[in-house]
Amino acid sequence: MLSYRHGFHAGNHADVLKHFVQLQVLRYLNQKDKAWWYIDTHAGAGLYRLDEGYATKLSEWQDGIGRLWERDDLPVGLSDYLEVVRTLNPDGRLRAYPGSPWIALQASREQDRLRLFELHTNESDYLAENMLSGKARTQITAGDGLKGLKALLPPPPRRALVLIDPSYEVRDEYAQVVDTLEDALQRFATGTYAVWYPLLSKPESRRLPDQLKALPAKAWLHVSLSVATPGAVGMHGSGMFVINPPWTLEAELRKIMPWLAGALAQDDGAGFVLESRGD
């Protein structure tokens, strides 16, 4: 969607969940020396200012990363995620937030590769600037990531995390995500695919997890975080659906999610769902 700017929402509760899960998967891939690819279908700008520009319009980060920033009781997994954010804010003041491409770059090694798609021309230009430090192993395409994904599968090392997180501002994007994954699993059945989606009252949003469960995947994990009672706010939470997840991810989320749901709760309707199917 060419009108969409993730900068308005950078660092919100949805980003906290998405980027925590993303980092957990990449850390798991790093347990082996063999290279991996990171493919991001909706990469955005890569880095975001929280003290100026788009983020100041809604200040959603204050109920997301802002609630975690100065806490001294973070569970271990969340501490790792916070440390990545702190590298952008070395003076201790929270003024910048990393997008998923930048997080992937920090987790990557010399042998790993990043393949990033961003349809919006201005955003893809910002992305190129923000990813300069990883230029040697990063390829950026100013185009549709859902369409471009098939040309990259299977990746040469046969190890990859594919992150799919559209804005879902267009109703058809829900169906496009399902269709894209069905095709991707035929091309690269063993890849790890992480799909972010918003918790909304829209039927398309409510149906998506069940549609993803019906895909021909050997294993999946589904986690969702509600920060408010449905209907109290527009997007009352978000979910991550991970196909072929690391075997360690479910146990980590079982430790983290009760704490995270409490820390980010906006009312007594906050909570989480965690379910999985093994191979």
The dihedrals phi and psi of 65, each to the nearest 5 degrees, come to: -60, -30
What pLDDT does 169 receive? Answer: 87
Tens-digit pLDDT string for the chain (279 aa): 444 567 678 999 999 999 999 999 999 999 999 999 999 999 999 999 998 766 667 789 999 999 999 999 999 889 999 999 999 999 999 999 999 999 999 999 999 999 999 998 788 899 999 999 899 999 999 999 999 999 999 999 999 999 999 999 888 999 999 999 999 999 999 999 999 999 998 899 999 999 999 999 999 999 999 999 988 567 999 999 999 999 999 999 999 999 999 999 999 999 999 999 986
The residue from 165, 179, 210, 268 that is catalytic is: 165
Query: Which pLDDT does position 178 carry in this prediction?
Result: 98
Domain boundaries, the chain: 6-277
| 3-state SS record for 55-85 | HHHHCHHHHCHHHHCCCCCCCHHHHHHHHHH
Residue 165 among the catalytic residues: yes
37 - beta bridge partners? Answer: 113, 160
pTM for the full predicted model: 0.95
Query: For 6-277, which CATH superfamily applies?
Result: Vaccinia Virus protein VP39 (3.40.50.150)
User: What secondary structure letter does DSSP report for 230?
Assistant: B
Give the number of other CB atoms < 10 A from CB of residue 29: 22
Query: How far apart are alpha carbons 163 and 170 in whole angstroms?
Result: 19
In the block, which residue shows the tokens 């998506």? 208
Tell me if 169 sits within 8 A of 202, measured CB to CB.
no
| pLDDT at position 240 | 98
Report pLDDT for 171.
85
Please tell me the predicted confidence (pLDDT) of residue 4: 55
- Look-up of token digits 């788009």: 54
The CA distance from 114 to 38, in Å, is: 5
